[in-house]
Amino acid sequence: MRNTLVFALFVAFLSTVGCGRQLPDVVPTTVAEAVTEVPTAVKAEVTVAASATATIEATVGAELDWATLIADADPAHGEVLFGTFYAEASFACSNCHNNASEDRLVGPGLLNIAERATTRVDGISAEQYIFTSILHPNDYLVETYVADLMPKVYGDLLSEQEQYDLVAYLITLK
């Protein structure tokens, strides 16, 4: 329910900012109500942005400065996390992702991932794209990859700082 309300508020916010409209007197309380309030031109953007509810929940009303968050993170610690086996996921990141090549293992090779991530979704930084892809792997599925292949447990297993550390490490892979 909380995520639904956050999403509804976010959609109302987007409709106001994106279309110059005023917020309605009654804020929608369901996703269906919120989406019907959004003009068609905004719906495509909302569909992409709204899928990352944890990120939206953390940023309603404010934008995260992804570059600063990642610049303040510890890529060396992120490298350790990348190789750490997590029993809850039954994997280490390195079991499925090649960090020294763009060649696909189970998941994509991560060499030059920052460069590729920059071009994936308009308006989304490489840092935010990678962060979302770790915590919500089905949000931005790249063609030829299937949904639900990557475990969706890293938001629970890693602290927020560890998540930023992991992204900081991946950004360094060039």
R_g over Cα of the chain = 17
C-beta of residue 69 within 8 angstroms of C-beta of residue 78: no
In CATH, the number for domain 67-171 is 1.10.760.10
In the chain, pLDDT over 70 holds for what percent of residues?
A: 64
- Which contiguous run of DSSP H or E holds residue 156? helix 154-157
Say yes or no to pLDDT of 55 above 60.
no
Q: Please write the tens of the pLDDT for every residue from 106-126.
A: 999 999 999 999 999 999 999
Q: Report CA-CA distances (Å) from 74 to 58, 70, 79.
A: 21, 8, 9
Say yes or no to pLDDT of 39 above 60.
no
pLDDT confidence of residue 150? 94
pLDDT confidence of residue 126? 95
The overall average pLDDT reported for the chain is 75
Domain ranges of the chain: 2-62, 67-171
pLDDT confidence of residue 119? 93
Q: For the ranges 16-30, 87-101, 102-116, which has the lowest average pLDDT?
A: 16-30
Q: For the ranges 41-45, 79-83, 100-104, which has the lowest average pLDDT?
A: 41-45
DSSP structure string for 142-155 = PTT--TT-S-S-HH
